[in-house]
Amino acid sequence: MTGKPIFDDTGNYLGYIGTVADVSARKAAEQRITRLAHHDVMTGLLNRTKFTEHLNNCVARLERYGAPFSVLFLDLDQFKSVNDSRGHMVGDKLLAAVAKRITTAARDTDIVARLGGDEFAIILPNDCSPEGNASLAQRLIDLGWPSV
């Protein structure tokens, strides 16, 4: 929205003239582009680029403040055989289901990402205790894994 006062030739105030533009569609498109740049389309998790950014931030916090963190990597064994025997649609559904289960097991403060293919990672900021890592790993195990 922009506007300015209008005066006649003698300097008498006549009012304002202005324009209004609806930018909500442009803002929504910008948000969508940002989301696509930072998230994996299939799972909705952070992508490798955004994960690396978070990891670099954690390393910087460790170096500057001594703030500990942990990183857990998950790789699905035999995933290629699922794609080969059941097809990529089933493989994609399996990846989405795994992502959902990882997100369910993770805490709100944990950073979950799909790095690519069948690889996932979790950053546990401010936690590098064996107990914290074991607790998350146990939650992941307790949820079980989807079958195809």
**What residues are annotated to the active site?**
118
Q: How far is CA 137 from the centre of its chain?
A: 20
Tokens of 114: 């799909």
Rounded Cα distance, 110 and 136, in Å: 10
Tokens of 148: 């195809």
Rounded Cα distance, 70 and 53, in Å: 15
> Closest Cα to residue 120, out of 132, 134, 137?
137
